[in-house]
Structure 1
Amino acid sequence: MELVNPVIIAITWVLAVGGALIGVFAAVDAVSRRPDAFAAADKQTKGAWSGITVACAAVFAFGVIGPFGVFGPQSLLWLAAMVGSLVYLFDVRPRLREVQRGRW
């Protein structure tokens, strides 16, 4: 157990910090996009996605502060925040980029 515990703590910190970086990137990207691009991409409004990604970033921030608490990487709330951020990054963001480049 002496060997496993530091590994678990290190993995938890890496997940917490990685999640925080993903959350902050998604929130900044959502806030910086034009509002009309969301409608043109047939996605929720800018306010909705900004709110979702900022809430996810807040959960990730609390996960870094206390990675073994209720907001840590081993919690369902952290997992829900990760899903919200990844949906934005891999579904919404590419469509917004296409619309803003004029390919749509």
Structure 2
Amino acid sequence: MDLVAPVIYIVNLVLAVGGAGLGIFAAVDAVSRRSDAFAAADKQTKGTWAGITVGCAVALGLGFFGGAFAPQSLLWLAGLTGSLVYLLDVRPRLREVQRGGRW
């Protein structure tokens, strides 16, 4: 059992660092986008997505301190889900709208 604790610690540390980085990237990206691109992409407003991603970044950043926000906890997973929704659904659509489409 002495070998399991360090592995669990390393996995939690990697998840905390990766989640915090992902949350910060999503928040910075949402804040740096133009407001009219969100309307053109038929998504929520820039303020809504900026608030969601900043809140998720805070929740993911608190993963370093353990407790209710420890990696793999429900609040940490909710923060990860919010950031991933922005990065995998909203961000590609915003990039497409700002780029002017395919043709």
TM-score using structure 2 length = 0.96
Give the aligned partner of residue 5 of structure 2.
Answer: 5
- Select between 55-64 and 41-50 the one with higher mean Cα deviation: 55-64
Give the aligned partner of residue 45 of structure 2.
Answer: 45
Cα separation, 1, equivalents of 2:54 and 2:85: 14
Give the superposition deviation at 1:94: 0.1
Deviations 1:64-99 (A, max 9, x none): 2x1x31111121000000000000000000000000
Give the aligned partner of residue 30 of structure 1.
Answer: 30
Deviations 1:29-60 (A, max 9, x none): 00000000000000000000000000000011
Is 1:71 the counterpart of 2:69 in the alignment? yes
Taking every aligned residue pair, what percent have the same amino acid on both sides?
71
Q: Which of structure 1's runs of 4+ aligned residues deviate more than 6 A?
A: none
**Unaligned stretches of 5+ residues in structure 2:** none
Cα separation, 2, equivalents of 1:21 and 1:61: 8
2:82 counterpart SS class: helix
1:43 counterpart SS class: coil
Deviations 1:10-38 (A, max 9, x none): 00000000000000000000000000000
Cα separation, 1, equivalents of 2:70 and 2:45: 29
TM-score using structure 1 length = 0.95
**Unaligned stretches of 5+ residues in structure 1:** none
Q: How many residues align?
A: 102
Give the aligned partner of residue 61 of structure 2.
Answer: 61
1:81 corresponds to which of 76, 79, 83: 79
When the two chains are superposed, the root-mean-square deviation of aligned CA atoms in Å is 0.9
